[in-house]
């Protein structure tokens, strides 16, 4: 049956009798012709890939490697021509001396008066140029510059023979008030001599820290005065006497020259008044309770005032860009200076604003004594 079906082209109805074949509703289907096997297809693909790879590799080498040999005999460079040696220059012929010709006779003419020369006449017997001929200028001999003095390499030793500076420690209160706050320390190289501190019992030595409390507030917006009360008794150098009693009053002043980044208030105490009426020009700067310069203050940096102009400029630039862009464009590009015409009316005062320092009343402060305070006369009068 199978052989008969294959002979009929693969039609399963070929094995049926003619009567049954006509009543069969199944379609006539021919079997597919056998094609190439999978191995043949794989080998063909590999061969095609190898051929393509070889062609591409050959093109790459031809494009990368330059030609190193001429393509034809016509392109062969000929040998360079031999060098040409120039001939020797001809020897000049010796010149012959020409004999002078005889002078031609000239007709005699009437004598003419000799012209008077404006030049000075040369005295007889003197050697020099003829009359009327200016003397040639003497040749100038170039002067040889003097050799520079010999300097030994390295730095020369300089010996200072000046007298040592006389440092005056008894300056007045006005000079201390002017230079006490914010001055830079100066290192003196003069000779220092030891001395005995006079009136040790009635002297408050330099460097003493006087604790106090602020009675008035501090605001760096404008300059003003400050006042404080001494918290504890301050004794003399030897500790036997109370020279600055508790409750003494300190008077000072402050300025308004605040700088960026500053967070400590600078107060200069100029006068101290004791409860018994004794007063002294103290001339010392304010410090905190541990001796650091300045008083800790509350800082207002004025952030909005300083950067409001920049924020407004950015908003105007963005607004001008959005107003000028297309309705369908999703991209917004803010170019600098687009709103400069509108923002030109905004005053640029951000760079001129400095921080404001404020110190409330009642804050603990200190006074760093900048010079010796002598109470000898006031103690003797008591």
pLDDT tens digits for range 311-354: 777 777 777 777 766 556 565 555 555 445 544 544 555 567 88
pLDDT of amino acid 233: 95
| Alpha-carbon gap, residue 252 to 250, rounded angstroms | 7
Question: Is 209 in the same domain as 268?
Answer: yes
User: Are residues 370 and 348 both part of a single domain?
Assistant: no
C-alpha 116: how far from chain center? 82
* Residues composing the chain: 382
Structural domain total, the chain:
2
Q: Do 237 and 320 share a domain, yes or no?
A: no
pLDDT, position 164: 45
pLDDT, residue 118, reads: 46
342 and 216 in a common domain: no
Instruction: Give the per-residue pLDDT at 92.
Output: 72
pLDDT recorded at residue 37: 82
Residues 253 and 221 in one domain: yes
Instruction: Assess whether 218 and 250 both reside in one domain.
Output: yes
Q: Do both 280 and 318 map to the same domain?
A: no
Q: What is the pLDDT of residue 335?
A: 53
Quote the CA–CA distance of 15 and 4 in Å, as a whole number. Answer: 7
pLDDT at position 126, please?
A: 43
Answer whether 282's CB lies under 8 Å from 270's CB: yes
Return the structure tokens found at 84: 């040409």
For residue 172, what pLDDT is reported?
A: 47
Verify that 243 and 341 share a domain, yes or no: no
- Position 38 scores a pLDDT of 85
Range of the domain at 252: 199-298+358-381
According to the model, what pLDDT value does residue 354 have? 83
Question: 57 lies in a domain?
Answer: no
CATH number for the domain harbouring residue 216:
2.40.128.260
Q: For residue 177, is it within any domain?
A: no
User: Do 264 and 375 have their domain in common?
Assistant: yes
Residue 288 and residue 363 in one domain = yes
Is 164 among the domain residues?
no
Positions of the chain with pLDDT under 50:
73-76, 115-133, 151, 153-160, 162-178, 180-181, 338-339, 342-343, 345-346
pLDDT at 128: 44
Can you give the pTM of this predicted structure?
0.44
Judgement on whether residues 283 and 308 belong to the same structural domain of the protein = no
Residue 371 covered by a domain: yes
Residues 214 and 282 in one domain: yes
Residue 291 maps to a domain:
yes
> Is 18 a member of any domain?
no
Expressed in angstroms, the distance from the first to the final Cα of the chain is 154
């Amino acid at each position: 049956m199978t052989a008969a079906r294959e002979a009929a082209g693969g039609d399963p109805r070929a094995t049926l009798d003619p009567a049954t074949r006509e009543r069969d509703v199944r379609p006539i289907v021919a079997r597919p012709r056998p094609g190439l096997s999978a191995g043949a297809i794989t080998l063909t693909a590999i061969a095609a890939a190898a051929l393509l790879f070889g062609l591409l590799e050959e093109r790459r080498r031809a494009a990368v490697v330059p030609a190193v040999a001429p393509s034809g005999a016509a392109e062969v460079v000929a040998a360079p021509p031999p060098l040409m040696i120039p001939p020797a220059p001809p020897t000049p012929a010796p010149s012959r001396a020409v004999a002078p010709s005889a002078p031609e006779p000239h007709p005699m003419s009437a004598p003419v008066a000799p012209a008077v020369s404006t030049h000075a006449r040369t005295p007889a017997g003197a050697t020099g140029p003829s009359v009327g001929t200016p003397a040639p200028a003497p040749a100038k001999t170039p002067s040889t510059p003097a050799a520079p003095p010999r300097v030994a390499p390295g730095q020369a030793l300089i010996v200072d023979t000046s007298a040592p500076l006389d440092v005056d420690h008894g300056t007045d209160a006005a000079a201390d008030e002017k230079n006490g706050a914010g001055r830079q320390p100066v290192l003196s190289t003069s000779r220092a001599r030891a001395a005995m501190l006079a009136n040790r019992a009635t002297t408050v030595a330099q460097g003493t820290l006087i604790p106090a409390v602020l009675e008035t507030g501090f605001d760096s917006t404008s300059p003003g005065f400050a006042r404080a009360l001494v918290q504890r008794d301050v004794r003399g150098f030897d500790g036997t006497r109370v020279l600055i009693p508790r409750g003494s009053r300190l008077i000072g002043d402050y300025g308004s020259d605040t700088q960026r980044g500053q967070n400590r208030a600078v107060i200069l105490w100029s006068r101290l008044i004791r409860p018994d009426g004794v007063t002294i020009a103290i001339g010392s700067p304010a410090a905190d309770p541990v001796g650091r310069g300045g008083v800790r203050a509350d800082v207002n940096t004025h952030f909005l005032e300083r950067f409001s102009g920049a924020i407004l400029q950015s908003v105007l630039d963005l607004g001008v860009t959005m107003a000028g862009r297309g309705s369908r464009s999703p991209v917004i590009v803010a170019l600098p200076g687009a709103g400069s015409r509108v923002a030109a009316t905004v005053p640029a005062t951000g760079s001129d604003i400095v921080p404001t320092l404020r110190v409330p009343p009642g804050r603990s402060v200190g006074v760093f004594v900048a010079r010796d305070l002598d109470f000898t006369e006031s103690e003797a009068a008591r």
